[in-house]
Chains A and B, each alone.
Chain A
């Protein structure tokens, strides 16, 4: 079974600064996907960024980038130029590659990020 570990329950960052959220996972699979989802207070969860395990290049989406270390099973999220709207719970998630059928998504327990003005 896959597990996803987020070891930072809460973090804070000054507005305009950079913050990195950590995530490690455990799997015996070789093909899989990793995601970071953001859940703002009382709002729906949205996808921030995703990474295919077969790609060596780290994914980037505007101010969000990841550091994917497959051998170390590490998948950290870097938020640059933090904005107040980045305040949210951030969930790291793992999905095994599977053709058809249900691709189970396993979530970590989340990191609560507070951006301070």
Chain B
């Protein structure tokens, strides 16, 4: 396993177009996260999945954004009707969490990110 893989690495699109990003997590990881990182900022949480279930979404995730994780494997993040404000790096991360485990740090393994530029 080579880690968390994200595609495409870069995407340039015109305002109003739809874009889709894909994330392939570490195979044994049961959690998958999407973060957004804008210039000069740290990553901001968007959403996360426990296996195939999307369990939490940030207020940052408007109705133009949709994320899926069919079969609990790879995940896609789609942005519809893109706006210039959507320009950012979209980071995917995964982790293995034993829900019965009392405590323990949830260490995230990040992908290299997908950079979106909306013209």
Query: Which of B14-22, B37-45, B69-77 participates in binding chain A?
Result: B37-45
Nearest B residue to A52, CB-CB: B105
| CB of A27 within 8 Å of the partner chain | no
Q: A interface, how many residues as a size bin?
A: 20 to 34
Q: Per-residue 0/1 for A92-117: is the Cβ within 8 Å of any B Cβ (1 yes, 0 no)? A: 01010101111111011110000000
Q: In the complex the two chains form, is A109's CB within 8 Å of B4's CB? A: no
Q: Per-residue 0/1 for B79-112: is the Cβ within 8 Å of any A Cβ (1 yes, 0 no)? A: 0000000000001000001010111011111111
Q: In the complex the two chains form, is B42's CB within 8 Å of A110's CB? A: yes
Nearest A residue to B6, CB-CB: A44
Q: B102 is contacted by which of A33, A43, A99, A110 (Cβ under 8 Å)?
A: A99
How far does the alpha carbon of A4 sit from the alpha carbon of B41 in the complex, in Å? 12
Whole-angstrom distance between the Cβ of A27 and the nearest chain B Cβ: 15
Q: Per-residue 0/1 for A80-97: is the Cβ within 8 Å of any B Cβ (1 yes, 0 no)? A: 000000000001010101
Where the two chains meet, the residues of A that have a C-beta atom closer than 8 Å to any C-beta of B are 4, 33, 35, 37, 42-47, 50, 52, 91, 93, 95, 97, 99-105, 107-110
